Amino acid sequence: MDQVRIRPRRRPLPLLSLAAALVCLVPSGADGQSAPIPLLEAPAARPVSGPLVPPPYFQGAVARGTRSDDGRPGPSYWQPYTRTQIDARLDPSTGEVTASARI
């Protein structure tokens, strides 16, 4: 038995839709130039907000030196550092986890 190979049929782009797309791109008017689009009313100037007052907790952090005015860590900023060792084991047959930790 011979194998028959069926290929999907490719349809060429209809010329009518191509012509319609080109007509949309051509400017209207007898002289080949389109009429200018009227501009809307110019937007009002953006109001200037009042002074930004930071919350009391941030002002306190700046006063203590743990934060700078722009929010970055200040000269008195610190992070605790600890060395930890955790030993954990899982028994797959029972699903039991046993662990110990040293700080």
E-strand stretches of the chain: 85-91, 96-102
Kindly report the pTM of this predicted structure: 0.34
For residue 10, give both structure tokens: 């490719």
What does the pLDDT read at residue 100? 94
Residue 96: per-residue pLDDT: 94
Mean pLDDT of 6-16: 61
pLDDT band at 45 (very low <50, low <70, confident <90, very high): confident
Instruction: Tell me how far CA of residue 68 lies from CA of 43, 55, 78, in angstroms.
Output: 37, 14, 13
Tens of pLDDT, residues 55-95: 999 999 999 999 999 999 999 998 888 899 999 999 999 99
Alpha carbon 53 to its chain centroid, in Å, reads: 29
